[in-house]
Amino acid sequence: MSSRDIALEILSAAGIPLNSDEPWSIRVHNEKIWDRVISQKQLGFAESYMDGWWDCDALDVALTKLLSINVLSLLKPSPALALHVTRSYLRNNQTKHRAAENAKHHYNIGNDLYSRMLDEEMVYSCAYWKEAKTLGEAQLAKFDLICRKLELQPGMRLLDIGSGWGGFLRYAVRNYGVEAVGISPADNQINLARERSEGLGITFLQQDYRDVKGEFDRIVSIGMMEHVGPKNYKTFFGKCDELLTKDGRMLHHTIASNVTKQVTDPFFDRYIFPGGVLPSLAQIASAVENTFIIEDVHNFGPDYDRTLLEWQKNISSTWSEIPQYDERFRRMWDYYLFSSAAGFRAGDLQLIQCVFQRVGQRPTYVTAR
């Protein structure tokens, strides 16, 4: 069978027509796409979209359909993919130096992009849509949910690992009276966080989590564990153990994989989050064994689908305001947002919040929702 025949058979199994009127139909502009996709798998599919070789009006729907039939299981691994997997097993992609470079690759793209895509507080993680009607309301609802799960009290010292542009800490300081410290290796984030938080007494440090000193009543990370890396989970939680007071509590909010992995999707590794790997709940549980009790696991993955579509709608309406990002970048960014939404919609990805307390005697924990 030719590459085209193989690809069309897969598209047919997924219910995706070729060059038709359905919104999820794939419209091909370059017939070289078939060899590229069959040889390079998901990376070839993504890059050919970035290069304008094909289009789809409902890209998120088409990608959801492909994920729903476990499309990768229908394709043999390429030598390049096998090499990518082998390298990921052998080396630590999240050493201090690599972690800093990886963070800057994504978060230093430009605050002008993120300020247009995100809500007013520039929250770059899954919103909580239980009762919210707008993206801003849903992000504040997420903030308050975390504060209630942590049972924050005035005067507590709170550490936010990977604090982004500081939105959560500003909310916690204003509404719960905590003393706050935030860290991020990305200078663009730290600089804007300091500017936006002026007068609130929040300390923002540009550093790796492994270099943090001090003692904290509460620790939180929101969308940061995806960047820790499988080889560093025990180091990460060991550092949390070192920093947390004896009766402290912590919450980690992360995208999670259904299965344990050592490697990420090659498109995301090359273009979006270099070195990032989504943890599984099994990996998290193994890393905290004998140190922390997982008091609560809250999965609201479908909320990320809606969040991502809101981000895409925001940035789509404002691309003309940021002409420094070329057409290939715009298509890459759309593919990133729509493919992520598809992952949550198809159930391939989860969004979990885990609450932890130390092993041993502790008060009964009743979670918030």
Distance CA 242, CA 260 (A): 26
How many helices (H) does the chain have, and how many strands (E)? 14, 9
Amino acid at position 276, single letter = G
Residues 272 and 182 in one domain: yes
Amino acid at position 100, single letter = A
Q: 86 in a domain, yes or no?
A: no
Residues 112 and 18 in one domain: no
Q: 24 in a domain, yes or no?
A: yes
Residues 205 and 312 in one domain: yes
Residue 5: how many other CB atoms lie within 10 Å: 11
Residues 204 and 349 in one domain: yes
Residues 158 and 66 in one domain: no
Residues 121 and 234 in one domain: yes
Residues 47 and 129 in one domain: no
Residue 152, SS3?
Answer: coil
Q: 367 in a domain, yes or no?
A: no
pLDDT at 138: 98
Q: Kindly report the CATH number assigned to the domain that includes residue 206.
A: 3.40.50.150
Residues 27 and 59 in one domain: yes
Residues 54 and 108 in one domain: no
Give the pLDDT of the chain (369 residues) as one tens digit per residue.
899 999 999 999 999 999 999 999 999 999 999 999 999 999 999 999 999 999 999 999 999 999 999 998 888 655 554 544 445 445 576 676 665 665 555 666 788 999 999 999 999 999 999 999 999 999 999 999 999 999 999 999 999 999 999 999 999 999 999 999 999 999 999 999 999 999 999 999 999 999 999 999 999 999 999 999 999 999 999 999 999 999 999 999 999 999 999 888 999 999 999 989 999 999 999 999 999 999 999 999 999 999 999 999 999 999 999 999 999 999 999 999 999 999 999 999 999 999 999 998 778 899 999
Contact 99, 275 (CB under 8 A): yes
Residues 160 and 299 in one domain: yes
Q: 174 in a domain, yes or no?
A: yes
Q: Which pTM does this prediction carry?
A: 0.91
Q: 221 in a domain, yes or no?
A: yes
Domain boundary among 25, 49, 76: 76
The answer for residues whose C-beta is within 8 angstroms of residue 318's C-beta and 6 or more apart is 116, 117
Instruction: Identify which of 229, 210, 94, 215 has the alpha carbon closest to the alpha carbon of residue 161.
Output: 210
Residues 68 and 107 in one domain: no
Strand-pair partners of 296: 355
Residue 79: how many other CB atoms lie within 10 Å: 8
Domain boundary among 31, 47, 76: 76
- Note the maximum CA span of the chain: 68
Residue ranges making up the domain that contains 148: 93-358
Residues 125 and 218 in one domain: yes
Q: 369 in a domain, yes or no?
A: no
Strand-pair partners of 28: 54
Domain boundary among 76, 107, 124: 76
Please tell me the total count of domains within the chain: 2
Contact 339, 312 (CB under 8 A): no
Distance CA 146, CA 121 (A): 16
